[in-house]
Amino acid sequence: MATWVAPNDNGWYNPGSQQYQYGLNGDDELAPTNDNKSYILYGGSGNDELYGQSYDDDLYGGNNADYLVGDYGNDNLFGGLGQDTFVFDTTLNKNKNVDYIGDFQSGSGGDLIQLSKSIFKGAGDKNTFLKSNKFEEGKNATSSKTKILYNEDKAALYYTKKGDEGNKVLFATLQPGVKLDNDDFYIIA
Ligand SMILES: [Ca+2]
Ligand SMILES: [Ca+2]
Ligand SMILES: [Ca+2]
């Protein structure tokens, strides 16, 4: 296996096609540019930014506040300790683009799920938290306003374009038992 370790603490790295990439204790940015395989990225300690590509990637933020972008594919995302951010900004596909977040911490001081308004149409304005009337917990949406539906029994997250009248599209699953609320979600451009 090809393994790459950051040459210095802190900094932006472009190790290209190395499949395994390890940040060190500083703030690392791991952003493979070759979109031809699955990547396994470890941020280590520090506030790291990890960017997957189109295949099924594994991203591990490690300690501190990390920013995880799986991109397309069925990615496995682990923020580790700290207030981590998980970004969803690629075209939804219930078979080929469903990420698993393995350690989400809900609520104040916890982690955040960022949703691109260009994908999650109608979810709200950019740079705002998801409004409570656009979020619902349950098996199916009961309101036409609902955009984000969370089935707590399955720890499954869906986007539903037209709420109770629309089809729901699975886009993420989380570790079993986790509860979510509307302010766990933040809308981005
Ligand atoms: Ca690091
Ligand atoms: Ca990916
Ligand atoms: Ca972390």
Higher per-residue confidence, 3 vs 172: 172
Spell out the residues 6+ positions from residue 189 whose beta carbon is closer than 8 angstroms to its own: 116, 117, 118, 126
**CA-wise closest residue to 58 among 49, 45, 70, 46:** 70
Given a cut of 60, whether residue 100 has pLDDT beyond it is: yes
pTM, to two decimals: 0.93
Ligand approaching nearest to the C-alpha of 70: 2
**Checking phi first, is residue 127 left (phi over 0); if not, alpha (psi -120 to 50) or beta?**
left
State the chain's mean pLDDT as an integer: 92
Distance 166 CA to ligand 1 centre (A): 42
Q: Quickly state the pLDDT bin for 11 (edges 50, 70, 90).
A: low
- d(CA 61, ligand 3 centre) in Å: 5
Distance 63 CA to ligand 1 centre (A): 8
Distance 104 CA to ligand 2 centre (A): 18
pLDDT, one tens digit per residue, over 169-186 is 999 999 999 999 999 999
In which band, very low, low, confident or very high, does the pLDDT at 32 lie, cut at 50, 70 and 90? confident
**DSSP string across 88-146:** E-S--BTTTB-EEESS---STTS-EEEEETTTSTTS--TTEEPPGGGEEESSS--STT-
User: Is the per-residue pLDDT at 12 higher than 80?
Assistant: no
For residue 29, report the distance from its CA to the centre of ligand 3, in Å: 13
Residue 35 has pLDDT above 60, yes or no: yes
Which ligand is closest to the CA of 48, given by its number?
1
Mean pLDDT, rounded, for 14-21: 74
Whether the Cβ atoms of residue 106 and residue 180 lie closer than 8 Å to each other: yes
Ligand 1 centroid – CA 79 distance (Å): 12
Tokens of 27: 């703030």
Tell me the two tokens of residue 44: 């280590």
In eight-state DSSP terms, residue 184 is: G
Tokens 């972008």 locate to 69
Q: Assess contact for 123 and 117: CB atoms under 8 A.
A: yes
Residues within 5 A (CB) of ion ligand 1 = 23, 28, 43-44, 46, 48
Answer with the residue of higher pLDDT: 32 or 106.
106
87 is written with which tokens? 């970004």
Residue 21 alpha carbon to ligand 1 centre in Å: 11
Closest listed ligand to the CA of 88: 2
Ligand 2 centre and the CA of 20: distance in Å? 14
**pLDDT score, position 5:** 64
Determine contact, residues 161/122, Cβ cutoff 8 Å.
Answer: yes
- Look at residue 98 and tell me whether its pLDDT is greater than 90: yes
